[in-house]
A and B are shown apart, each in its own frame.
Chain A
Amino acid sequence: METKKELKVNAIKNGTVIDHIPSSSLFSVINILGLNKIGQQVTFGFNLESKKLGKKAIIKVADIFFKDEEINKISLVAPDAKLNIIRDYEVIEKRVVVIPDEITGIAKCMNPKCISNHEQMTAHFEVVEKKPVALKCRYCEKITDQEHLEIH
């Protein structure tokens, strides 16, 4: 059955396919991974149908293989993302993303009176809950929950 499925996004020879990204998070994922700043070929599909997510997005990045700590950064916006590592058009490895115990940058503390929202500095969080995610700011110690999570 798998083989009959029409490909909405062209296959890549070598690289990484990031699947099961919520459509609304596509551009966050691109930003977090810095895909808008690389020279390799990137193709993506947006608002594809998904039983699980309703609308999903998929990104195919040629010739790039992400390290765990790099790819885990997208877990805040795409917790169900699946990675297929491609070599010579074949999937040689499948990976999932894991929410790390600490988050550096990426997220914004929801406390408007937190120093991290006023100074040019990197935000730091301890992940106190993973699902739904809750982040404790290293500076003001306030909790930012999933509902108020802003990614930049």
Chain B
Amino acid sequence: MKNRSLVSITDYNQEEMLQILDLAAEFEKKPNQDILHGHVVATLFFEPSTRTRLSFESAVNRLGGRIIGFSDSSSSSVSKGETLKDTILTVSNYSDLIVMRHPLEGSAKYASEVSPVPIINAGDGAHQHPTQTLLDMYSIRKTQGRLDNLKICMVGDLKYGRTVHSLLIAMADFNPVFIFIAPEELKMPEEYKILLDNKGIEYYEYKDIADKMDDADIVYMTRVQKERFSDPLEYEKVKNVYILRNSMLDKTKPSMKILHPLPRVNEINYDVDTNSKAYYFQQAQNGVYTRMAIISKILGVK
């Protein structure tokens, strides 16, 4: 993994993913280590994402590295019309590793082709966000003790949600059963169902939550966003169907955990937060350990 960019979750094979998770577990036990001393990491956020940026910066800081970068393209030369290539080539002179978030799809792949230093994709439009996938896997393994043979229920926007697509691809190698719960307009795209069919993985599709998550090990919630609907009436019809409430969790497995990539709006009711099955804030914390592991592997200090 040393000096290799992480653009898509498929850049890592199963063994490499497990190495990241193992290393993240080490960092969780001992989060402050001065192993990145003398290294400079650039965080280039061409669109704002405070949560993701702070998570990366926390990871670098805990390892004793230094950070340069910008949190919004309006404060960089991009607003003067500089191309992505020029920005990347310039910043690569100042840093050992570039973490980038960009609104255009494929931008991280392109950056990795022109950059002499490795790139970590922190989200490129609706395309990929591999560090989120690894932290989701870390959270799953940590709470369930394993990655194999789990029943994973995905709820909400399964059409545009890049986190569910990447997680599906990554988990497909661990013999899961998937339950997809989404409105008609936001169903899991055909290409991902074909991928599961080819691997012989079971999946079920429903339009309502009701009792569908009763035997699930993981419930992965996503936001149903108004702007995804061509017909506002359709949104009004479904907007309250995909809200998770504490009362719906009574019959679910005691070991079940609820994940959410955050930020949430209203899709998880606040009364769920105190339930021991709610795991989304710990999940965000796991993101720091996972990113520490990814950065250390790429910089070759672990």
Does B197 reach chain A (CB closer than 8 Å)?
no
Give A97 to B257 CA distance when docked, in angstroms: 56
A139 touching B109, Cβ below 8 Å: yes
A80-137 residues with Cβ-Cβ distance < 8 A to B are 111, 113-116, 118-121, 137
Chain B nearest CB, measured from A112 CB (Å): 10
A residues in contact with B126, CB < 8 Å: 113
Q: How far is the CA of A118 from the CA of B124 in the complex (A)?
A: 14
B209 at the interface (CB under 8 A from A): no
Q: Does B127 contact A (CB under 8 A)?
A: yes
Q: Find out whether the CB atom of B83 lies under 8 angstroms from the CB atom of A114.
A: no
B272 touches A (CB below 8 Å) = no
B107 within 8 A of A: yes
CB-defined contacts of A139 to chain B, threshold 8 Å: 105-107, 109-110
- Whether the Cβ atoms of B125 and A113 lie closer than 8 Å is yes
B84 part of interface (Cβ distance < 8 Å): yes
Do residues B127 and A119 form an inter-chain contact, with CB atoms below 8 A?
no
In the docked arrangement, what's the CA distance between A111 and B104, Å?
A: 10
| Residues from chain A with Cβ under 8 Å of B83 in the complex | 119-120
Question: Complex: how many Å from CA A142 to CA B189?
Answer: 13
Q: Is there an interface contact between A115 and B104, defined as CB atoms closer than 8 Å?
A: yes
Across the interface, A121 reaches (CB within 8 A) one of B85, B102, B105, namely B85
* Chain A: number of interface residues, binned into ranges: 10 to 19
Report the tally of A-B residue pairs with Cβ distances under 8 A.
45
Q: Does A140 contact B (CB under 8 A)?
A: yes
Instruction: Kindly state whether residue A141 has any CB partner on chain B within 8 Å.
Output: yes
Q: Which of B225-244 contact A (CB under 8 A)?
A: none
- Alpha-carbon separation in the docked complex, A42 to B110 (Å): 38
Known: A113-B126, A141-B127. A119 touches B105 (CB 8 A): no
Identify the interface centre among A118, A138, A142: most chain B CB within 10 Å of its CB. A118
Which residues of chain B have C-beta atoms less than 8 A from A140's C-beta?
Answer: 105-106, 125, 127
A142→B109 CA distance, assembly (Å): 13
The chain A residue with its CB closest to the CB of B109 is A139
Contacts of A121 in B (CB 8 A): 85, 110
What are the interface flags for A35-78 relative to B under an 8 Å C-beta threshold, 1 for contact and 0 otherwise? 00000000000000000000000000000000000000000000
Q: Report how far A140 CA is from B121 CA in the complex, Å.
A: 13
| Residues of chain A with a CB closer than 8 A to B109's CB | 115, 138-139
Could you list 20 further interchain pairs (A-B, Cβ under 8 angstroms) beyond the known A115-B104, A115-B106, A116-B106? A111-B105, A113-B105, A114-B104, A114-B105, A114-B106, A115-B84, A115-B105, A115-B107, A115-B109, A115-B110, A115-B124, A119-B84, A119-B85, A120-B85, A121-B85, A139-B107, A140-B125, A140-B127, A141-B127, A142-B105
Binding site for A on B (CB under 8 A): 83-85, 102-107, 109-110, 124-127
